[in-house]
Amino acid sequence: MKKILVFLLTVLTFSAQAAESPQEGKFSPGDMIMHHIGDDYVWEFAHGVTLPLPVILYGENGLDIFSSSNFYNEQHELQPYNGYVNEHGHIYYANEEGHPRTRVNEKGEEEHVGPMDFSITKNVASLFVSVILLFLVFLSIASAYKKNRGKAPRGIQSFFEPIIVFVRDDIAKTNIGPKYERFMPYLLTVFFFIWFNNLLGLIPGGANLTGNITVTLVLAVMTLLITVFSGNKSYWGHIFNTPGVPWWLKWGIPIMPLVEVIGIFTKPFSLMVRLFANITAGHIIILSLFSLIFIFESIAIGPLSVAFATFMNFLELFVALLQAYIFTLLSAMYFGGAVEEHDHHSDLGHGDAPHAVPATH
């Protein structure tokens, strides 16, 4: 166990080192960190160990698929390829000098022009890895349930069963109520998807997938869509005709409906930002701690930095689970609010029950 830890930390340190920009010879922690938490066209596991990923572009030249290694020459320097140029992690059309082509937009600003980019980037590749992992784990568990039907769980099945039961009993049943069953597939999928990807992101060389705003945006929009489409009469009634509110706040000055409608969108927005910020922040902290070694250029700071980073890593392992739990829990609460049957007589006093979401970080 100790050996593995030492190995992981060494790899992480090496990959941190890899970000040192060779041209200037000066270490810039900001660039290194942004490079690590951002997306890329290659997957750099450690310094020198990179996997070029396919680039898929659709634009004025039609569909173009090629390896991202074409953007690098023998000295690992960027070069234009096939009329495209890779600059600051984006692919643009190249002009004659091999620089991104520009155009002036409506506001009169100059901007780069590029094709639509469907490349299998580091994040997309990591997404596929996580999906394969999810399939492997849960299909084998499902077959285990078929094999020892009615018997006690065994092996990997017994590890995941309490978690599945927890999601069902403590997240879905308590927050959604009797109609929980139809939300179970989404809640379980989103829980394990986030958790697995959080953990994959913690592996040195892993991608920061759940700390990517696009991914959390998609997940949050899914929750939003499910909430809105499963909203019953009472849910919409509470939004446009909130009980217990003076009539003039609803029909005279429509503040309440406005606030409630904004609320529909702020809830998933908070889901999106919370997951993104927590995971990205964790990565930034760990990377910053390692950067200290290179900033101080002292061997003495090494053990301290490693100790802190180790502690942070353990904390992040916890956060990985916690954030998956929070996302799932809040989604379940929103679904619960959407399908709840209100008893209007008793509900007048305490207002909108499902909005009473507990404070989370």
Partner 1 sequence: MNPLVTPSLGLLFWQVVTFLVVLFLLSKFAWKPIMKALREREDNIDSALRMAEKAKLEMQALKADNERLLTEARVERDRILKDANDVATNLVESARTKATEEGQRLVEQARESIQNEKKAALTEVKNLAATLSIDIAEKIIRRELQDEPAQRALVQSYLQETHLS
- Degrees, nearest 5: CA angle 320-187-326: 40
Least separation, in Å, of the C-beta of 53 and partner 1?
11
- Under a CB-based contact definition with an 8 Å cutoff, are residues 214 and 325 in contact? no
Shorter beta-carbon distance to partner 1: residue 11 or 273 = 273
Q: Which of 27, 19, 88 is nearest to 47 (CA)?
A: 19
Shorter beta-carbon distance to partner 1: residue 193 or 325 = 193
Shorter beta-carbon distance to partner 1: residue 101 or 168 = 168
Least separation, in Å, of the C-beta of 56 and partner 1?
8
Pairing of strands 54-59, 116-117: antiparallel
Least separation, in Å, of the C-beta of 266 and partner 1?
16
Shorter beta-carbon distance to partner 1: residue 234 or 288 = 288
**Which residues on neighbouring strands pair with residue 65, listed in sequence order?**
56
Shorter beta-carbon distance to partner 1: residue 26 or 88 = 88
Least separation, in Å, of the C-beta of 61 and partner 1?
17
**CA 322/CA 20 separation, integer angstroms:** 33
Amino acid at 125: A
By the criterion CB under 8 A, which residues form the site for partner 1?
Answer: 34, 37-39, 56, 88-89, 116-121, 123-124, 127-128, 131, 134-135, 138-139, 141-142, 145-146, 149-150, 161, 164-165, 168, 181, 184-186, 188-189, 193, 212-215, 217-219, 222, 276, 280
**Tokens linked to 86:** 């890779």
**Tokens linked to 88:** 């600051």
Shorter beta-carbon distance to partner 1: residue 34 or 321 = 34
Amino acid at 154: R
Quick one: 95 exposed, middle or buried, by C-beta within 10 A (0-12, 13-18, 19+)?
A: middle
Shorter beta-carbon distance to partner 1: residue 55 or 293 = 55
Q: Which of 35, 92, 43 is nearest to 68 (CA)?
A: 43
Shorter beta-carbon distance to partner 1: residue 51 or 131 = 131
Q: Which of 89, 113, 110, 87 is nearest to 101 (CA)?
A: 113
- Under a CB-based contact definition with an 8 Å cutoff, are residues 287 and 32 in contact? yes
Which DSSP letter does residue 341 get?
A: P
Least separation, in Å, of the C-beta of 123 and partner 1?
5
Least separation, in Å, of the C-beta of 55 and partner 1?
10
Least separation, in Å, of the C-beta of 112 and partner 1?
13
**CA 282/CA 278 separation, integer angstroms:** 6
Q: Which of 37, 33, 49, 36 is nearest to 291 (CA)?
A: 33
What is the CB neighbour count within 10 angstroms for residue 332?
26
Shorter beta-carbon distance to partner 1: residue 55 or 239 = 55
Least separation, in Å, of the C-beta of 130 and partner 1?
9
Least separation, in Å, of the C-beta of 345 and partner 1?
34
